[in-house]
Structure 1
Amino acid sequence: MFDCQMGMEKVSGERKKRRMRQKKVTAVQKLYDTCTEVFADCGPGIVPAAEGIERLKDILNGITALDVGVRPNMAYFNTGGLPIITYLHLSECDKFSIGIFLLPPNGVLPLHNHPQMTVFSKLLFGTMHIKAYDWVDNTTSISTPKPDSSEEPVSLRLAKLKVNADFTAPCNTSILYPTDGGNMHCFTAITSCAVLDVLGPPYCDPEGRHCQYYRTHTFTDLSDDTTDDEKKLLPDGEKTENYAWLEEIDKPKGLTVIGAKYSGPKIIEKLGCGSG
């Protein structure tokens, strides 16, 4: 009986240890582990399976600022009125990257793209305005003189407005896809904001996935009056204000993004990924 009791105590002790190990799995570790599974068979332009997207979305919807060690009173937000944005690098491999953008009030991440990527963005705290576009299918670029100058013609491409609204945390995770959902977006912080981003795959200049910035021109900027040819570019019944011409530009001179060390709960990574 004594041996039996000792055996039961041993089993009970092992169960307690397992439960303790399970409890130690942090939200950010669970996010990382899920990313390794969801993006395992993905690559440029390949969207994860619907089940995987739902898994990641559910995890991100439940993550709070506390789970990743950020808060509105951090020194990163005291920029003396300058729109300096801070990026906390959590993890990156060839399949995905995880990071957090910290935007002070009036901080702006200008309109930029996410080539061949699926992107999950979770607003952890604050209020921000998001404006996002997708390219109009089967519409080629056009060359036209700049509406406000006599310089050489520029190449413009037609895009449709997908999102143009204020968002206040807590709110659900937004998802954009390689060709849908607002692949090109702009973030404007109204208050101090923190945004947790998951990109699959991450930017990679050698593979042609570099961050491109854009300047918008209203649909009617090309002429004083919208021509019949221009109207043919739009689906029947569509309003011109839902469309814009996008011009590729260099990185805006006023954009300052600095990297900082992530100091939240540690991520235990698999071979091939590295944290900041």
Structure 2
Amino acid sequence: MTDITRLRHALRELGIQYGGILMVHSSLRGTGLTPAAMSDALRDVLGPDGTLVVPAFTPENSDTSAAHHRLTQGMTEQEKSEFRAAMPPFEADATPCPTMGALAEHIRTTPGAVRSAHPQTSFAAIGPRAAELLADHDPHCHLGERSPMARLYVADAQVLLFRVGFESCSAFHLAEYRTTPPPPTRTYRCVVDRKGHWISYEDAVLDDSDFAELGRRLPRALLSEREIAGRGVFLFGMRDTVNAVGVEMSGYRQGMP
């Protein structure tokens, strides 16, 4: 899939709103697309009044995350201590987001891009509503009501899963925060401001283990889908989908059929 004209046409056919807000999770591997070409196609389809948002998460900036445990696997306790002491702090304008894919890193580093301030679950965006949507991301709230995710929900942003599955759909976490009873909490730790300066906070235990199944259970009327370069691509409105997932999640996680 190297024909950019055909890509733009496919994205328009999916139903991306001109002038709208779009959050994208993506995998470009096997498409022949560069991150710059994908970004240009998305921004062209959105138009000059549209805003493009990507998760710019940094789970490795922690000593309580699975990403950190993978990085330190096999180290001695002394080596782990030295690794932790040398970890660079999160800096919104400089810290890369390597686990989020090439497109997210490209958007993050695009001149004019805005990034939210959470040291583990930041977002990056470009467009006229970027600063408004990403402002005041509470450092003690990953993806709940005091995060850009809630603002994207209010704005009824669209979500594009470009050749990735629903297991990658971070918007489902907002439904998770809203379940009754609410999810349990745990302590998170990350380094900010300078080396060796760690903060701790309590937030929800985030669990994406059933997101693929929850995506499979979504009413197909909520989704626009097609295949690009051999993998599925899904587009949907965040508000209706988060609402539907919230209802399903409450029953599904309690063992209801």
TM-score (norm 2): 0.31
Q: Indicate the structure with greater helix content.
A: 2
TM-score (norm 1): 0.29
Q: Indicate the structure with greater strand content.
A: 1
